[in-house]
Structure 1
Amino acid sequence: METVKRSTFKLLFYLKKNEPKKNGNVPVMGRITIDGIAKTFSTKLDINPNNWDLKHGRVLGKSTQALNINLKLDNIRGRINKIYDEMLKDEGFTTSQKVKLSFLGVGVMDDAILQVFKEQNEDFERMVNKGKRSQNTFYKYKIVYNHLKNFIKERYHRDDMAFRELNSDFIREFDFFLRIDKECTHNTVWVYTMPVISLVDLAIKKGLIRKNPFENYEISMQETNRSYILKENVEKLMLLRLSIVKYELVKDLFIFSCFTGLSYIDIQKLKWSNIQSFFDGHQWIISRRKKSDVASNVRLLEIPKLIIEKYRGVTGNDYVFPVPSNATCNSHVNKLVQEAEIITEQKVTFHTARHTFATMFLTEGVPLESLSKMMGHKNISTTQIYAKITSQKISKDMDLVSYKFAGMEAAFSKMEKEVII
C-alpha cells in the first residue's frame, strides 16, 4: 500500500504569488496529484513570500507565526492523507478530485457532521413550533451548532467534515476550544459537548460510521451549589406586606414554586387542564416537564391551592397564571428578598424556589423517591444532590454549636488519657 501511495499520490504546498494582498502576503495553496492528475485548493492561509521554504513547502524560521502556520499545514496534510487512505481502503480507488472535494466538505454533505446537525435542528424547530419541545433547548442547540461550525472553520479550515474523518482528537480539541477560546465553564462545556456526542451515536445507528471516535472521551457534570432558602424564610416571604404592589404576582409565583417544585417554564405553561382530582380525592398537578418531557405529578397542598384560586379567570385563557418574563421574575425576587430581609450565602433567583421545594420537603421527611417523581427527574441521582445539601446544612448547624462543648471534650480527653496510662 505504501509503495502504491508514493508512486500515485502527492501533496504539495506552494505560493500563489500573482495574487498578493495589500500587506504583501500571498496565499498558500495545496495541490493534490493522483496518477498524474492534479487538483488545487486554497489552504486559507497566507504568508510573506520571503519566509517560504520552496524545497520543503513550509514557512522558514521558528517564530510563533511560522510554527502556527506549519502546524496547520501538517494538520491539512494529515487529514488529506487519511482521506486518501480511507477512500482507497473502502472503494479500492480514488481520484485527486474526490480527495479534494472530501477535504473541502463538498459532495459528502449527506453524511457530514454539520449537515446532519443542521437537519436535526430543523426537525427540532418543527417540534418546538408544535409545542412538543422546549424553545430554550432549541436555542442551546443553535449555540452549539455555531460553536462547532466556528471550530471546524478555525481548526480545520473546512466548511464541514464527514463523520468518518472524526477521531478522538476532535472532541478533545473542541472541548479545549470551548474552555479557552469561548471561555465556557466546565458544566457549560459538558452541556455543549453532549449534542455532538449524540450526533456521533446517531451516525453509528445510521451506518455512516462503524466505530465511535469519541469512546475514550469522558466528561461529567460537576455539582454546583444550588441556592435555596429555609422554611422560616419562605414563611417570611408569604407574610410579607409589600411596599410595591407590582411585586405581588412574582411573590405568589415564587411561593407556588416552593410548594410544587415547578420551574419557571413549567409554571408558565401550566394549564387548568393539568389540575385534576386524583384517586385519593386530592387535587394534583398532572404534567410533563417542559425541559425533559418527564412526568411531574405533584399533589397540591392548601397554600398552592389558595394561590391558584386567587388567579382564576385572570388570564382569560387555559393558562393558570399571567407569568411575566424570566428576567422580570428574577428582578422582583431580588427586591422581595431585600424587603423580607432574608440573608443567604448565594444569590436568590426565581429558580431558587424549585431548589427550596426539594430541600424543604426532604428535610420534612418526604422520601427521596417520592421527591424525584414530583420534580420530574430522569434519574434519582439528580435528586440525591438535594439530600447532600440538607446534610451539609446539618453539618454547618453542628459547627455553630460545637465550640460550646469544647470544655467537656477537653476534660473527657484528659480523663481517657489518664485511664490509658
Structure 2
Amino acid sequence: MEQSKRSTFKLLFYLKKNEPKKNGAVAIMGRITIDGKPATFSTKLEIQPDNWDLKHGRVSGKSNVAVNTNNKLDKVRVRIVKIYEEMMKDEGFATSQKVKLSFLGVGVMDDAVLKLFQKENQDFARMVAKGERSASTYAKYKKVYEHLAEFIKLRYHREDMAFRELNGDFIREFDFFLRIDKECTHNTVWVYTMPVIALAKLGVKNRLIRDNPFEDYEINMEETDRTYLLKEAVEKLMLLKPSKQRYELVKDLFIFSCFTGLSYIDIKKLKWSNIQSFFDGHQWIISRRKKSDVASNVRLMEIPKRIIEKYRGVTRNDFIFPVPSNSTCNKHIEKLIKEAEIVTEQKVTFHTARHTFATMFLTEGVPLESLSKMMGHKNISTTQIYAKITSQKISKDMDLVAPRFAAMENAFEAMQNENVAPEEIVMSGEELELAM
C-alpha cells in the first residue's frame, strides 16, 4: 500500500514528427509515465502538425476534424485513467508497461472480451462438426465476432479489451455502429447484439466482472410481417403434380413442415427415434429444436404420417428424410408455387412453411400456449407475433358470431320498416339546428 501512495501517474499526447506521411500528416502518440518510467503507444490517430496545440496536447481549433479527434483523445484518456485506477485498487500497484498492455489488449489479459468470444466460437465449431449445433448459427456468431473486433479497433483503437472496461455506453455504441457503419436493419441489430449481451452474462458467471454492464440496454425484435400460406393454398400445393419428379421430395418436406411446424434444420435432423407413441395413444414427434435446444413436441396428424411412411427405408441411416440443401429446397419451392398458381405478396421459402403452420393452426383455434409448446419457442412473446392473426381468422370468427345476432337483426329490420323516411329525419334535424 505504501507504494501505491507514492505512485505518480501522467498521460501525455504528442506528435511523431520524424515520420510524416505523404500528405504531411503525422501520428498522434501517447506516453504513460508512472513513477518516472514511460511507455509509449500509438493512438492510431493523425493530424497536420500545424493544427497541434503543444501546450495542451490537443488539436487546436473548432473544426469537425479537431472536435472529433479531441473527443477520441478524451476517450483514450478516460480508459487509460480507469485502467490505472483499477490496477491500483485491485493490486496496489501499477506500471506504465502494464497499463499500456492492458489498454492495447496485447494477449496479456485472461479476461479479454474477444479472447473469450473466440474460445466460445471454437467450442461451438466443434459441436457443429458433431452435428449438435447449426452451421448457420455458427456463421452468425463468426459475423458478430468480426463486427465486434472491427468496432473495438475503430472506436477504442486496440485489438481487445478487458471485461472490467465494459459499460452501458459500450453496447449502445456497438448498436449505433451496427446501424450506421454497417447499415444493419433493426432486427439484424437485435440478432447481433444478443450474443454480446450473452458474452457479458458469461463474464459474470465466470467472475470476470461482478455485474452485467448491459443491464439497462433494451432492444426488441420488430414484429415484421411473416410470409405464410392460407389453408387453401396449402391444399392447392398438396394436390399439385409437379412438372419434374425432383420437385416431389421438396413438396412433401414443405407440406410436412406446414403440418408439424418443424424448421428446415429440425426436419433434416429428424430421426426415427424421435417418433414415439405417447400417453394418448397417438404418435408424436419428440425432439429439441437445433436453434434453441428447447423441447418441441408435436402430435402427428394423418398427412405428415403418410409423408413419413412414403419415405420409410429410403435413407440408409436413422434419419427419416433425405433432405437436399436449403438453397435447393428454396429454388424448388419457388418453382412449385408458380406451378400451383399460388399468388403471394412476398417470396415463399422453406421457412414459410413454419409460419404457415403457426397461422393455419392458430386460425383453426389452437390456443397460443399450445402453439408455443409445439413450435419450441423459449417465450410465448415470440409466438404472439402470430397473434397479429390473418384476416381470414377474423372473418371466420365473425362468421361464427353472426348467426347469434340474427334475431336482433330481424327485430331491427322490422322496426326500420315502421320508422319515418330518412329524408324526413334529415329535415327534422336541420329544423332542430335552426331552432338552436
2:194 is aligned to 194
1:335 is aligned to 335
Moved more, 171-180 or 366-375: 366-375
1:145 is aligned to 145
2:223 is aligned to 223
1:10 is aligned to 10
1:401 is aligned to none
AA in 1 matched with 2:52: W
1:185 is aligned to 185
2:75 is aligned to 75
Contact kept in structure 1, 2:102 and 2:109, CA below 8 Å: no
1:402 is aligned to none
Shift of 1:192: 1.0
Cα separation, 2, equivalents of 1:226 and 1:256: 19
**Could you report, residue by residue, the CA deviation over 1:357-406 in whole angstroms, capped at 9, with x for unpaired residues?**
111112222232222222112222222222332468526997xxxxxx9x
Cα separation, 1, equivalents of 2:116 and 2:323: 36
AA in 2 matched with 1:246: R
1:353-392 superposed matches below 5 A: 353-390=353-390
Structure 2 length as normaliser, TM-score? 0.86
1:52–1:393: structure 2 CA closer, same or farther, 3 Å change rule? farther
**Unmatched segments (≥5 aa) in structure 1:** 399-404
2:248 is aligned to 248
Contact kept in structure 2, 1:108 and 1:162, CA below 8 Å: no
Cα separation, 2, equivalents of 1:75 and 1:46: 16
Cα separation, 1, equivalents of 2:101 and 2:18: 25
Cα separation, 1, equivalents of 2:5 and 2:174: 31
**Could you report, residue by residue, the CA deviation over 1:64-94 in whole angstroms, capped at 9, with x for unpaired residues?**
3332222211111111111122222222322
Cα separation, 1, equivalents of 2:46 and 2:5: 29
1:121 is aligned to 121
2:264 is aligned to 264
AA in 1 matched with 2:361: F
AA in 2 matched with 1:10: K
Instruction: Note the aligned Cα RMSD (angstroms).
Output: 2.8
Shift of 1:62: 3.0
Question: Considering only CA atoms, is the larger Rg found in Structure 1 or Structure 2?
Answer: 2
Contact kept in structure 2, 1:112 and 1:160, CA below 8 Å: yes
**Unmatched segments (≥5 aa) in structure 2:** 399-408
1:4-403 superposed matches below 5 A: 8-106=8-106, 108-390=108-390, 393-394=393-394
Identical counterparts, % of pairs: 78
Contact kept in structure 1, 2:265 and 2:290, CA below 8 Å: yes
Shift of 1:294: 1.4
Cα separation, 1, equivalents of 2:333 and 2:128: 29
Contact kept in structure 2, 1:13 and 1:58, CA below 8 Å: yes
AA in 1 matched with 2:76: I
Cα separation, 1, equivalents of 2:393 and 2:52: 65
Q: How many residues align?
A: 408
**Could you report, residue by residue, the CA deviation over 1:190-217 in whole angstroms, capped at 9, with x for unpaired residues?**
1111111111112122222223222221
Shift of 1:54: 1.6
Cα separation, 1, equivalents of 2:201 and 2:359: 36
Structure 1 length as normaliser, TM-score? 0.89
AA in 1 matched with 2:169: D
